[in-house]
Amino acid sequence: MEPPKTKRISRWYFGGCASAGAACITHPLDLIKVLLQTQQERHATLPVMVAEVVRTQGIKALYNGISASVLRQMTYSLTRFGIYEYLKNSATGPTSFLARIGMASVAGAAGGFIGTPADLINVRMQNDVKLPPDHRRNYKHAIDGLFRVLREEGIAKLFSGASMATSRAIVMTVGQLSTYDQIKMVLLTMPFFTDTPVTHFTSSILAASIATTLTQPLDVMKTRAMNAKPGEYTDLFHIFVHTAKLGPLGFFKGYVPAFVRLGPQTVLTFIFFEQLRLHFGIDVPVIK
């Protein structure tokens, strides 16, 4: 009798661990993206901004806020990956692309809200390097930043921009996770693709380009909301109007560095994730 076929699925925390590992490598790109998005009158390019940070702050400044970046991935990405994989693996039989979009939306909403405090600290710590010394917040690390905001500005401030972060997380999770799965499924139907890093790389780089395009307008407004001074913006519409003054391309400010950051982040995340799944995942019977 032929033994039952099995497939290997991930554990709920693999996505968070993979994302945190990828963030440790791509953090400088994320920092430069934030600096480009928050500049006002200036229009510095990616190389100019990198050179300016290194010249004025030293090369270590490129890793300013790394603790917040890791904390963000271990809240935001761990939640969205965990919920998405749980919902997907709990389905009795194959799921459609539309069903996976729905799962990704639920997972992204939860991850975006839970990850907002860490995201706030991440943006602030990254933006510190371009502020005058007397205007810097100088958080020692992410946990210090969380407690200082809680003590100095209140718990509501920790969730400043939560609606924008949640909306962005929904779009990001749909653009990354459900799209990655769909592209990977299509590639695996072709004779020259198997469940290897080549397939994972191809699927993830295509998913990254889709996710960047979908999320960039929300990402720009989210960054402005989180980095705003008290009273600078009254509501989300005010942020939209302020950004619109820069023209339609204002919503895509920093698109190239965003993709330069999100591309490697997505590729590394899924390669790490798939290796964790293949080597340390759980074997379950295939349900036809």
The domains located in the chain, with CATH, are 9-277 (1.50.40.10)
Q: Each residue of 43-82: pLDDT tens digit?
A: 677 788 888 888 888 888 888 888 989 999 999 999 999 9
Per-residue pLDDT, 1: 47
> Comparing 150 with 94, which gets the higher pLDDT?
150
> Tokens 């997505």 belong to which residue?
266
Q: Using CA atoms of 101, 106, 109, 113 in order, give the dihedral in degrees to the nearest 10.
A: -150
- The average pLDDT across 109-126 equals 91
When pLDDT is averaged across residues 165-191 and rounded to a whole number, the result is 94
127: Cβ–Cβ under 8 A, 6 or more apart, which residues?
34, 35, 38, 227
User: What does DSSP say about strands 282-285 and 6-9: parallel, antiparallel, or unpaired?
Assistant: antiparallel
pLDDT at res. 231: 67
Q: Is the per-residue pLDDT at 154 higher than 80?
A: yes
Q: What is the pTM of this model?
A: 0.81
Q: Which of 130-134, 185-189, 275-279 is the least confident region?
A: 130-134
* Bigger pLDDT: 249 vs 167: 167
**Among the listed ranges 86-90, 120-124, 238-242, which one has the minimum average pLDDT value?**
238-242
Of the pLDDT bands very low, low, confident and very high (cuts 50, 70, 90), residue 259 is: confident
Q: Is 165 exposed, middle or buried (0-12, 13-18, 19+ CB in 10 A)?
A: buried
Residue 165 has pLDDT above 90, yes or no: no
Tell me how many degrees the CA angle 200-201-207 measures, rounded to the nearest 5.
90
208 Cβ partners below 8 Å, 6+ apart? 176, 259, 262, 263, 265, 266, 267
Q: State residue 282 phi and psi, 5-degree precision.
A: -115, 130
For residue 151, pLDDT beyond 60: yes
Please give the structure tokens belonging to residue 20: 């945190």
Q: Mean per-residue pLDDT for 183-212? A: 94
With residues binned 3-state (H G I as helix, E B as strand, rest as coil), the percentages for the chain, rounded to 5, are 75, 5, 20
| Distances from the Cα of 94 to the Cα of 3, 87, 90, 169, angstroms | 21, 12, 10, 25
Look at 148-152, 170-174, 217-221, 266-270 and tell me which has the smallest mean pLDDT.
217-221
8 Å CB contact between 5 and 285:
yes
Q: What angle do CA 48, 53, 55 make, to 5 degrees?
A: 90
pLDDT at 226: 66
Q: C-alpha distances in angstroms, 246 versus 71, 112, 222, 226, 272? A: 32, 27, 16, 19, 38
125 touches 142 (CB < 8 A): yes
